[in-house]
Chain A
Amino acid sequence: MRSRAPAPSEPAQGTEPDATRGPALVAGPEPPRPRGAGRGARRKGRASAWRWLGVLPFFAYTTLFLLVPTIELIVKSFEGPKGSFSTANVSRLFSGEYLSAYATSVELSAITAAAGGLFGLFIAYGAVHGRLPAFIRPLLSTFSGVAANFAGIPLAFAFIATLGPTGVVTSLLNRAGLHIYNHGFTIFGMAGLSLTYIYFQFPLMILIISPTLEGLRAEWREAAQNLGATPAQYWRHVGLPLILPGLLGSTVLLFGNAFSAYATPYALTAGYINLVPVQIGAILQGNVTVPNPQLGDALAFGMIVIIAVAVTLYVLLQRRAARWLP
């Protein structure tokens, strides 16, 4: 590239202070800073601090009531009765009633997450894309908001009143000639408990999957149809891959929701169905032969691990499924 002569208004090369010639040549007054520049920077800093102040309570809260207890729980899981390091409590999770409690909890959570999720998905899809009257959406949202939080003892009693041995629905079915209790069903067993869980699982699914379904644009369905796709082909190649990340996330959330439920199974089955939260509750209440609070910590630690595995799996699947997301 050819060099060009410096323009008259430009400083010629070599006229700038040269640091190698000694301090006398570089020493000089600093170029004047615009008035108020320092104040501006300080103000900017203060504004930034104010912004952080807004979320400070959140961080303080989660540190105090989530992070610290989790760390303590993990530490205590590896403590023996005298406070020394021990893997005995964690080892007990892999045998006997505790292993069985995990298996039952995972089974119940998986069944109700899948069934409730599927049921909720269909209802949400109908509400979002089903061209139903306008009042249906808010009605469904309100119901879902209430039903998703309707758990514990009231829910248990509601189901006993409807599907218990003398419940309203049971009586109606009996009158219709269908004696469900003669066919092995009981509201106090695994099937009854699953049905009860689904009551709060599917409304939760409606609430959390609706935004994903709203993002499913009508143009995609029409474009697929226009190009010759049948509804099944549209769902296989377009619809399902698009909602998959949201669907996975929602199912994991439903799994976690069921996995940690305590009051509903306790009220309904009085602890006869062996679930991890029920085991932890028994230890906390001292309903055990040999009190061992560290075992409760270990059981809770086990729950954290299972949820962490589920979330990691979800993140991995989502990354794989959602390469196209901006």
Chain B
Amino acid sequence: MAALELRGVRKQFGEVVALRGLSLEVASGELVSLLGPSGCGKTTALRIIAGFEHPDGGELLVEGRDVTRIPANRRNMGMVFQAYSLFPNMTARENVEFGLKVRGQDRARRQRRADELLELVGLGGRAGRYPNELSGGQQQRVALARALAIEPAVLLLDEPLSALDAKVRLQLRQEIRDLQKRLGTTTVYVTHDQEEALSISDRVAVMSEGVLEQVGRPAEIYRDPRTPFVAEFVGTMNRLEGKLAGPTSVLVGEAGVPLTVQAGHERAPGEAVLVLIRPESIAVEEAASAAEVDSARARGSLGGRVLAFTFLGPVTRLVLDTDLGPLVADVPSIQALTYASGTLVSLRVDPAGTHLLGAG
């Protein structure tokens, strides 16, 4: 039985349809991320799970029990909000204690529990501080401890790292994941940051315009996107239009440039397809002259030239004008040191890194 289940949940705000029959199952102890751009309905879904919004249709089940009509304060769900939501009139310890206090737990027990949790999130020495005396990262840690204090049936995280700086964000997301694994808390994590979702989730649910586009393990979402939206939203993807010429051959563009693709798809020759290629699946080599590019073409490579490049640390992202059309490729930065705008290159697309979708 799923720890959390959404069955055909629908929600509309005036003319705007936020959710169009969302169905999702989250297993016990699993961390599922709802990933999508702003306005895709992921926060609405989370708020419906929390009980802050009521669905227009569908059901919400926790451990098989229908909680659709149960008010938020009786659902036993811990939530960490996007903005700092600590009660400013309470110290870190009092914030963590709050859920236990309103449940009537005695002072000594709830203080012990709050101290344990603050210790767990690395804030043991700051229990007596008010939120305005804590940094953004520390505040979110306290918020996490507060949400966990009530031993929630489901932990809900609504873009909890979006207000933090990059370094703290990286550190805290790993801490959240470690803590979630250690406690085995069923968790739903909302984010628009695909890197964040891919790095901490057991499964990722990609949403667009109130619809669940694809649910799967992070590597599956990245390597095997089922829709053009998922392909483009998760990571950077080159997208080429072509026609299937054989089981592993696609003729790209109007010129019909041949490209070898991965076998194993169930598409028929002659079918219009979209070929998706990740930037890291393109191997680039500098060519000294046009003749060298032609020679590489003769050996089955493609030709092109560098239009622009962006240094991204360990890799450099190249924008190339190629025989297939414009492509984006990632090369090790050490290799790209000599590249300039206009540098001639030969390139090879790894067939294992290609993915086919129907062009319709």
Contacts and interface: CB of A to CB of B under 8 A. Distances in A.
A228 interface: yes
Contacts of B150: 227-228
A292 to B, nearest CB: 51
Contacts of B79: 222-223, 226
Given A227-B150, A229-B102, A325 B77 contact: no
A229 B83 CA distance: 20
A325 B131 CA distance: 9
A324 B72 contact: no
B103 A219 contact: no
A217 interface: yes
B130 A324 contact: yes
Interface string B122-148: 000000001110000000000100110
A290 B131 CA distance: 62
B102 A222 contact: no
Contacts of A230: 73, 102
Interface string B61-78: 000000000011111111
B171 interface: no
Contact of A227 (B71, B83, B99): B99
Nearest to B131: A324
Contacts of A241: 89
A323 interface: yes
Nearest to A322: B89
B233 interface: no
A73 interface: no
B77 A224 contact: no
Listed residue (A222, A223, A228, A238) with the most chain B CB atoms within 10 angstroms of its CB:
A228
Interface in B70-101: 71-79, 81, 83, 85-90, 98-99, 101
A16 to B, nearest CB: 44
Given A217-B83, A222-B52, A324-B131, A238 B73 contact: no
A217 B130 contact: no
A220 B72 CA distance: 14
Nearest to A238: B87
A219 B81 contact: yes
Nearest to A222: B52
A62 B95 CA distance: 45
Interface in A189-235: 217, 219-220, 222-230, 233
Contacts of B99: 227-229
Contacts, number: 82
Contacts of B161: none
A230 B98 CA distance: 12
A226 B132 contact: no
A228 B76 contact: yes
B50 interface: yes
Given A219-B83, A326-B132, A227 B102 contact: yes
B132 A325 contact: yes
A241 B78 CA distance: 23
A253 interface: no
A233 B102 contact: yes
Contacts of A238: 87, 89-90
Contact of B50 (A226, A229, A324): A226
A122 B205 CA distance: 43
Listed residue (B85, B101, B132, B150) with the most chain A CB atoms within 10 angstroms of its CB:
B85
A59 B79 CA distance: 51
A220 B146 CA distance: 13
B89 A227 contact: no
A323 B98 contact: no
Contacts of B78: 226-227
A227 B52 contact: no
Contacts of B147: 226-227
Interface of B: 50-52, 71-79, 81, 83, 85-90, 98-99, 101-103, 130-132, 143, 146-147, 150
Nearest 5 interchain pairs by C-beta: A227-B99, A219-B85, A326-B132, A229-B102, A241-B89
30 contacts: A219-B85, A222-B50, A222-B52, A222-B72, A222-B85, A223-B79, A223-B146, A224-B87, A224-B102, A225-B51, A226-B50, A226-B72, A226-B73, A227-B78, A227-B98, A227-B147, A227-B150, A228-B76, A229-B73, A230-B73, A230-B102, A237-B98, A237-B102, A238-B87, A238-B89, A241-B89, A242-B87, A242-B89, A324-B130, A324-B131
